[in-house]
Amino acid sequence: MGGGRPRDTGVEERVVAVAREMLREGGYARFAVDQVADRAGVAKTTVYRRWPSRDHLVVAAVATFLDDVAIEETGDLRADLVRIAAAIAAGLGQPGIRLLVSELIAAGARQPDLAASVYQLWARRRAASLDLFAAAVGQGEQADDVDPGLILDQIIGAVYYRALITGDPVDDDYLKRLVSAALAGAGVSSGGLA
């Protein structure tokens, strides 16, 4: 029950940093654990000691990407929603990111124990979006029967759906109509809450 050598805490950071780089450069396909380890100056064993599979490492690396995105709320719910949706659409417009997102989804589907982590990836962003509604309600408007989650699903779901699955374009005009329809569906009057 002795102690043993303590883990080098620098390893996590270095590896994840390199992993992030490699994802940016070559995407998911050319992401090889061997190379990550090499570049990070770390043994492959050390990598596998922390992340039980390539997918786990990728998810961990992506988790650090998403921190960057900041959501600014202007108080104008409709506009804020459009802006958020546009940001997502813009991201998915880049082939690299589109692939990465797809692969993450697939990774979650492949390994059940990863699913939760992957879901959480998006959950954080979703939570930020949900705050918008709280703020809007705070500014005083009826919100009794409004389900913000449902509205978000309709909007963001549609964006992912078009970008990843149907391949249809997601332009600004579409987004405006989308947001309007979703808000209207929830009984949020055009002039009202927004």
The contact set with its own copies (CB under 8 A) reads 28-29, 95, 98-99, 101-103, 105-106, 108-110, 112, 115-116, 118-119, 122-123, 126, 147, 149-151, 153-162, 164-168, 174, 177-178, 180-187
Which one of 24, 52, 149, 187 is in contact with DNA (CB under 7 A)? 52
Q: What span, in angstroms and rounded, lies between the C-alpha atoms of 101 and 91?
A: 10
Of 99 and 143, which CB lies nearer to DNA in the complex structure?
A: 99
Q: Token pair of 172, please? A: 């600004």
Instruction: Give the binding range for DNA (CB under 7 A) out of 35-43, 61-69, 143-151, 159-167.
Output: 35-43
> Hey, is 114 helix, strand or coil?
helix
Residue 50 binds DNA (CB under 7 A): yes
Nearer to its own copies, 116 or 134 (CB): 116
- Which span (29-37, 100-108, 117-125, 175-183) binds DNA, by CB under 7 A? 29-37
Name the one residue in this structure whose structure tokens are 């709280």. 134
Which segment (50-58, 94-102, 150-158, 184-192) binds DNA by CB under 7 A?
Answer: 50-58
Q: How far apart are CA 150 and CA 105, in angstroms?
A: 21
Closest by CA position to 174, among listed 159, 188, 160, 189: 159
User: Is residue 165 within the footprint of DNA (CB under 7 A)?
Assistant: no
37: nearest Cα among 52, 58, 18: 18
Shortest distance in whole angstroms from residue 60 CB to DNA: 13
Buried b (16+ CB within 10 A) or exposed e, 28-45: beebebeebbeebebeee
Spell out the residues 6+ positions from residue 82 whose beta carbon is closer than 8 angstroms to its own.
172, 175, 176, 179
- Give the binding range for DNA (CB under 7 A) out of 25-33, 61-69, 127-135, 150-158: 25-33
**Subset of 90-149 contacting DNA (CB under 7 A):** none
